[in-house]
Structure 1
Amino acid sequence: MKNECLIDGQIGMFDLPVIDVIKTKEISIENEENIKSDKLYSIVKLYSESCSRIVKTLSGALLVEFDDKTLYFNSAGINEFELTKDVAIMPGEEIIIANSDKEINEMQKEKLEALKVTEYIKRKGDANLIIPGEKTMVINPKGWVLEYDQKPIYHQNEIFNIGVSIEIQTIENRNTDVAVNMNEIEFKVNDDVNIEYEGIKSIGKVVRIYKNGETLNIKWEGKQTAFYYKNVSKVR
């Protein structure tokens, strides 16, 4: 029925056409994660044969390394930028694909020997040596010893044991065996010490002592690494 109160040209509210409300399709968080996972899986599948390695970072991004560069794909599967080859990775980051290995150098071997550890982890595709423990220790290619709270991700066949021969000297003191200080000098945290690193002599400070006093973690000039106790002397 036409509204008699309307002026010519006006439309009454009952004469308006019915408009259907179109509801937008909601994507659940779970579906979003599946979409991201599908994209990342397709990236791994695409480059699995041609790359040197693929690493999944702590943020969920992928590092796809080739002979001359590394492609960075964010957690959504978007290639954001390029990095150089041999990007340093952390022990808690997962090596998904490793088509070639990275060799360790003599400096790393010497540092590993100085730390007197019984086992270490060498992951295929990783240039770092990883020493598991309460805190994860990493010896990088520069010979630096770094500590991480994160637990390493690795395969069982990447664990290597070292035959360590530890000489223990004892003396009899009131019918009790007492270990002799092998260094004759007892180091303490915050001691100033003389060191030599890569042929350069410096003075550093002891920040941590472990391995029965045989390994000293020393900080100096913005650097920090481990030294075998026989290679360090107190500042007089």
Structure 2
Amino acid sequence: MIKNKMDEVLDGQISIFDLVLNEVKEPKKEYAPVVKSHKDKFAEIINLYKPNAARIVKRIYGALLVELEEKTLYFSSDGVKELELKKDIDLLPADEILFVNQDRKLNDMQLKKLKDMHVTEYIKRKGDANIIIQKQDKTIVINPKGWILEYLQKPKYHEDEVYKIEVPKENIDLHILSAETDIDEKKSTIKPSTFAHNIIDFEENELVEIKYKGKRHIGKVVRIYNNGETLNVNWDGKQTAFYYKTVKKLKEIKMKNAI
């Protein structure tokens, strides 16, 4: 008779069948929650409002502005909508314009201020109503109210938003001659009533006397523009523009010689 194997276990011994087998368990995988960056959150906001937004702007301090038809939504850097602001929020040069459906035009006051500054180029960003002028150590802004503001921040813009201003050579000559005239007038002892420089009454094809590079010449007026303040004169095969106060009529010269 075959004995049960369990009966063969002697005292003090443990059967392998009595052993408790511990199962080897794989360590649990811990999945950290995926936290979206503000860029990802902003991307969702931009895609949501892009069809109807006038413009979408990322501010220098990280917030996001979504301008709609009648208001501007303000989102924090975490992508949380916090405020509803007015439309047409003033922008800083370092604000980044991400998307634009409606551009902003410059007004006459801004253009006049720009002209008076005699710069060779300026920045007009799409969606921004400011004129931006970049200097080496600062950034100048002409806002729609005509105010001239200075910032130390560098502007953010695209290459196609930089506009060059061509300064005609005749304008350069005009400024030089105007300066020479101011010096001559200070040295002059002739009474102002002797000449009619304050009266803009030159005519085309009229013979006049001009001063060019320190020498005086007789020439002919070939064109008058800028409300009569600029005269284009031809002499000795040359032709350039002069400020009207630097040009003398021949009859005035005769009057001077007669005095």
Normalising by the smaller structure, the TM-score range is 0.5 to 0.7
Report what 1:169 is aligned to.
176
Residue 107 of structure 1 aligns to a residue whose secondary structure is: helix
**Counterpart mapping for 1:46-195 below 5 A:** 46-134=48-136, 135-164=138-167, 165-167=171-173, 168-169=175-176
Distance 2:115 2:144 in 1: 15
Q: Which amino acid aligns with 2:85?
A: L
Q: Structure with the greater relative contact order (CA < 8 A, sep ≥ 6): 1 or 2?
A: 1
2:98 aligned counterpart, secondary structure: strand
Q: 1:181 to 1:74 in 2, by over 3 A?
A: farther
Equivalent AA in structure 2 for residue 120 of structure 1: Y
CA distance in 1, matches of 2:86, 2:113: 26
Q: Note closer, same or farther for the CA distance 1:100–1:116 as it changes in structure 2 (3 Å cut).
A: same
Cα distance, 1:152 vs structure 2: 0.8
TM-score (norm 2): 0.53
Q: What fraction of aligned residue pairs are identical, expressed as a percent?
A: 49
Equivalent residue for 1:196?
none
CA distance in 1, matches of 2:48, 2:32: 30
Secondary structure at 2:43's aligned position in 1? helix
1:119/1:183 Cα in 2 relative to 1: closer, same or farther (>3 Å)?
Answer: farther
Which structure has more helix as a fraction of its residues? 2
Moved over 6 A (4+): 24-27, 181-184
Question: May I ask how many residue pairs the two structures share in their alignment?
Answer: 151
Q: Measure how far apart 1:169 and its partner are.
A: 2.7
The worse-fitting range, judged by mean Cα deviation, of 83-92 and 34-43 is: 34-43
Per the TM alignment, residue 35 of structure 1 is displaced from its structure 2 partner at its CA by 2.9
SS in 2 for 1:112: helix
What do you get for the CA RMSD once the two structures are aligned? 2.7
Pairwise CA distance, 1:36: 2.3
C-alpha distance in 1 between matches for 2:129 and 2:39: 27
Give the whole-Å Cα distance in 2 for the aligned partners of 1:74 and 1:109: 35
Deviations for 1:108-155, whole angstroms, at most 9, x for unmatched residues? 010000001110010000000001112110000000010111111111
Q: Helix, strand or coil for the counterpart of 1:166?
A: helix
**Take 1:103 and 1:80, find their aligned partners in 2: how far apart are those partners?**
29
- Cα pair distance change 1:112/1:38, threshold 3 Å: same
Per the alignment, do residues 44 and 181 of structure 1 end up closer, same or farther by CA in structure 2, a change over 3 Å counting? farther
Q: Which runs of 5+ in 2 are unaligned?
A: 1-29, 185-259
Distance 1:62 1:181, change over 3 A: farther
1:145–1:183: structure 2 CA closer, same or farther, 3 Å change rule?
Answer: farther
1:141 partner letter: P
CA change 1:149–1:180 in 2 (3 A) is farther
Structure 1 alignment gaps of length 5 or more: 1-23, 171-178, 185-236
